[in-house]
Structure 1
Amino acid sequence: MEILHPRCAGLDVHRDSVVACARVVALGRVERSVETFGTTTSELERLARWLAGHGVTHVAMEATGVYWKPVWAVLAEAFELVLANAMHVRNVPGRKTDVNDATWLADLLAHGLVRASFVPPKAVQALRDLTRTRKQLTREKASHVARIDKLLQAANLKLGSVLSDIMGASGRAILDALAEGESDPERLADRVRTRIRASRTRLIEALRGHLSDHQRLLLRIHLGQADAIDAAIAEIDAELGDRLEPFRDATTRLATIPGVSTLSAAVIVAEVGTDMGRFPTAAHLISWAGLCPRSDESAGKRRSTKLRKGAPWLKTLLVQTAWCATRAKGTYLRALFGRLKARRGPRKAIVAVAAAILTAVYWMLTRGVTYADLGADHFDRTERTRLAARLARKLGELGFDVTLTPKDAAMVSS
């Protein structure tokens, strides 16, 4: 088998150790050197010197949790690095050791058999860390709000039945009063600051409950946690605003897609970057995101059409964005969803809409253009043309010469 990289290395990365195998082809012979290093900064610098001493030019490592990131940061400037998906470089079962794993990676890399995973530049990685942490904090706040509602239900306070958002302006005022010890339903009802659908009588009845001392303590704790999370999210938003400046034009253009908000556009840029040269076609990007069926075929039969795991952070966002896009009237994405929903069901239809959004993202970032909607009548127009062409082809097969002339053009010529 052809050797593409005669001087390469494979790294088996763990939390506290890195096993390195340098593979060097000299005078027609393959020489391997194996050594174990720690994961402190000084040890990783020693690893870089060791690799340079063997004349290594290319280095491959598995994407093991987050342990590969500091190794990548130390070696990125001196070597051509390849990050491998662990599922793609599995060794023969029964022969798994740290040394064998590193040697196997080096052998695969030498012959060009390692498919490189997408590693964005540092600026995009920083955006990725910020947006992902923001989403995790949002989830944590939602869990605290759910616990607050559980506390209220246990105390027979039906605040969620009369307010659409218990953490809104009126709901938060009532919760603060409850946490401070207020229990009179009428005085609690006076804390409502906005108009609500429920009548005052119904509101007072909903607030006629009893919070015990330990429940008030838990309520204060959950409210404090929610406030701390809000403050943390505000800090992240401020940092995101500064770091998005180099990508402001891209996020502004992406936000013109139906269903894509400014925050969603920032998350898309954080997950895929702005350089689409990494993906040969839009289909490659869709496959990487996990928005297409995986290949699972045997004996000419497709055994499964489940989606690939792909990029879970991006896939989740695109599906949520797709649901928003289907509510935008008079758009191509809404028409696409309605067309596919009737034949394939809503779940497959929404994935198709998410893939269509990602396709638009690919071409907008590649060509630097704004979003141009195909229109809600896109399928009506294309189906009319296809039907006419198919009927003309049938008539041609029957021996007739057919020339298709639009009706309006025929009236003008007459």
Structure 2
Amino acid sequence: MNRYIGIDVHQDKCHGTVLDEDGITARQGYFQNSPSGFKDFFDGTGTGKVAIEATDAWQPVYDWLTEKGFDVKLAHPHKTRIIAEVKIKTDCRDSEALADLVRADLIAEVYVPCDDMRELRGIAKQRGKLVQERSKYKNRTKAQLRKRGIEYKDRNIWTKSGKQWLRDLEINAVNDFLEVLKTLNDRISKLEEEIEEIAGDMEEARLLMTIPGVSYYTALTIIAEIATIERFPSPEHLCSYAGLVPSVKQSGSKEVHGPISGGRPLLRWIIYQATHNHKNNAPNSHVTEFYKRLEQRKPKKLAKTAAARKLTTVIYWMLKLKEEFHPKGYDPRTSR
């Protein structure tokens, strides 16, 4: 007998609903988000189709069920909720709604990368989090100086001499922040060494690093977020995945373009960074020239987003055709 299972996943616990072929609840309840918890709940249920909402804690139960032979689908959180509200029209708990949706074959799936790509994503994400933390402590240090009316704008306080100047101020909070910053810098440096080694062994990363302004970290992050270029049928699909396409509201013949929305935040951020660095490192490339032309007649923010879309399109064709960066552009239809 087929089983249709919805699982609402949290950090420590999960709530599962098991439906039979007729949509009757066969099992329901909480279980620990751990192998022993999975075994207790699924013991005797047989295999079936499972829907899990994509949250921070989805991987353990997804991997365990896949290994046991279940047909597991990772559900897009936003799209799944929209479908549930329209199609189910009840106040069911999340696991019940997911079970109903997988039974009706209405799950909006999220791509699940292979283990290697998941590891790359983890490394890239960890480096990004550490850099964000470092920025927070730098801002807190500056806030301590402003609080005391200490001028520092003509001084680079993050150089070796600048940090010594900060220590000489003998502000306890600032000294504490400097110690935290030292720890963060050490860990970021170690991660960057690991990233450089990994990226140096990847053909796709070496290709992307032929783009002026694209570093080891940028290349690896882009590749980790994309996973495989083959899953995108066109550059437009990749731009949409990155969240670089304006939203569209259409009613009859009227079409209104709004701000960009959705997409992968980390991918969008790293492409924005790559675009900014590229403009500074390649003033005569076709991407930079496109930005300069647009900047003359459009707001700077719109020009930046359009240039990021253009660079994303370039990245798409570079990975698709396995070609290095062309400073003056090229027509992919005439490439090998």
Fold conserved between structures, TM > 0.5: yes
The residue number in structure 1 matching 2:90 is 95
Partners of 1:270 and 1:158 in 2: CA distance: 42
**Number of positions where the alignment pairs a residue of Structure 1 with one of Structure 2:** 324
In our comparison, the structure showing a higher alpha carbon Rg is 1
Amino acid at match of 2:92: T
The residue number in structure 2 matching 1:230 is 185
Of 172, 175, 182, the match for 2:166: 175
The residue number in structure 2 matching 1:114 is 107
Partners of 1:369 and 1:48 in 2: CA distance: 48
- The reply on whether 1:294 has 2:288 as its aligned counterpart is no
Q: What TM-score comes out, normalization by structure 1 length? A: 0.70
- The reply on whether 1:85 has 2:92 as its aligned counterpart is no
Partners of 2:8 and 2:169 in 1: CA distance: 56
Q: Is the 8 A contact 2:8 2:95 kept in 1?
A: yes
Partners of 1:63 and 1:329 in 2: CA distance: 41
SS in 2 for 1:89: helix
Q: Is the 8 A contact 1:149 1:160 kept in 2?
A: no
SS in 2 for 1:120: coil
Partners of 2:264 and 2:10 in 1: CA distance: 23
Residues 237 and 324 (structure 1), Cα distance of their counterparts in 2 relative to 1, 3 Å cut: closer
Unpaired segments ≥5 residues, structure 1: 1-5, 180-215, 379-414
Partners of 2:265 and 2:80 in 1: CA distance: 21
- The reply on whether 1:41 has 2:30 as its aligned counterpart is no
Partners of 1:159 and 1:342 in 2: CA distance: 35
- The reply on whether 1:9 has 2:10 as its aligned counterpart is no
SS in 2 for 1:264: helix
- CA deviations 1:135-164 (Å, max 9, x no partner) are 222122222222323333444443332x2x
Partners of 2:150 and 2:293 in 1: CA distance: 45
Residues 156 and 128 (structure 1), Cα distance of their counterparts in 2 relative to 1, 3 Å cut: same
SS in 2 for 1:67: coil
Partners of 1:156 and 1:104 in 2: CA distance: 57
Alignment of 1:119-138 (within 5 A): 119-138=112-131
Q: Deviation at 1:351? A: 1.1
Residues 332 and 245 (structure 1), Cα distance of their counterparts in 2 relative to 1, 3 Å cut: closer
The residue number in structure 1 matching 2:334 is none
The residue number in structure 1 matching 2:97 is 104
Partners of 1:329 and 1:92 in 2: CA distance: 50
Partners of 1:50 and 1:276 in 2: CA distance: 40
- The reply on whether 1:362 has 2:316 as its aligned counterpart is yes
Partners of 2:147 and 2:116 in 1: CA distance: 47
Partners of 2:240 and 2:71 in 1: CA distance: 25
- CA deviations 1:389-410 (Å, max 9, x no partner) are xxxxxxxxxxxxxxxxxxxxxx
Partners of 1:242 and 1:261 in 2: CA distance: 12
Partners of 2:181 and 2:189 in 1: CA distance: 12
Q: Deviation at 1:32? A: 4.7
Amino acid at match of 1:235: K
- CA deviations 1:30-85 (Å, max 9, x no partner) are 5552322412320113345444x1x41x3211113x13222112122223321111
Partners of 1:374 and 1:7 in 2: CA distance: 56
Alignment of 1:265-304 (within 5 A): 265-273=219-227, 275-304=228-257
Q: Deviation at 1:166? A: 0.7
Partners of 1:130 and 1:122 in 2: CA distance: 13
Alignment of 1:331-346 (within 5 A): 331-346=285-300
The residue number in structure 2 matching 1:256 is 210
Partners of 2:118 and 2:159 in 1: CA distance: 34
Q: Deviation at 1:304? A: 4.3
Q: Deviation at 1:172? A: 2.0
- CA deviations 1:232-285 (Å, max 9, x no partner) are 212322443454465x22111101123322221111122222x22222222112
